[in-house]
Structure 1
């Protein structure tokens, strides 16, 4: 003898989502299994070669301007007038030279502009202006 508060003739108005969840989980498993197979769809036999050394990366030349406006080329102090000539010598030794320009935050912008102009006049086109964040 059971006690029930509902009539047995009433229709249940809620949707049963259990079959829907089961189908979705099966689809998820199918995608997880087949996704790695789709990345290597074309089989190619690659040729074997000897190991090749990576290309040498040369260190860039560092031009610095300190807070007093003094110029340095690789930690050697230079007069502002001789910076261009020194950079031309470096460019003559290595045509693919790169320059990193480091300037103190307190230095006058005019000094930085002079350094950039000297770098440009020396024929060096690869220049990086170093900053911190």
Structure 2
């Protein structure tokens, strides 16, 4: 409550000047303002773009796949056909690397195959220019 006390009058008592207390009015006004701000929907700013209309290009067909299996004794199978030696493997890799659309190499080593056999196949494929090499069948190595 606010009251202003004026200068004393002739009787010695000050005149009481009563003004309206605006503090509760300001509080009510601020509460209403906050409620108004909360209830106004958020404006989304969008930029209109004219996107090209047309047919998307057809999906590319998957590349051919060559399955190279490495047996426990170092025997290499090229799509199920056993190869005689490493030179035959490199001839097959060289032929595949020169194709216009290189095939994916899926190498599947046997669980008991020594790492040196797998490393030789990977090294030959990399040296001869094969770009897409993957080792498949890793689930057999999980405990």
TM-score scaled to structure 1, two decimals?
0.62
Question: Bigger CA drift: 46-55 or 78-87?
Answer: 46-55
State how 1:1-133 maps to structure 2 within 5 Å: 34=42, 38=44, 41-81=46-86, 82-94=88-100, 96-130=102-136, 131-132=138-139
My pick for the range that moved more, 82-91 or 109-118, is 109-118
Q: For each residue in 1:92-112, what CA deviation from the matched residue of structure 2 results, as whole angstroms up to 9, or x when unmatched?
A: 223533312110121111111
Specify which structure has the higher proportion of helix.
1
What runs of 5+ residues in structure 2 fail to find an aligned partner? Answer: 1-33
> Higher strand share goes to which structure?
2
**RMSD in angstroms over aligned alpha carbons?**
2.8
Structure 1 unaligned residues grouped into runs of 5+: 1-22
Q: How many aligned residue pairs are there?
A: 104
TM-score by length of 2: 0.58
Larger Cα Rg: Structure 1 or Structure 2? 2
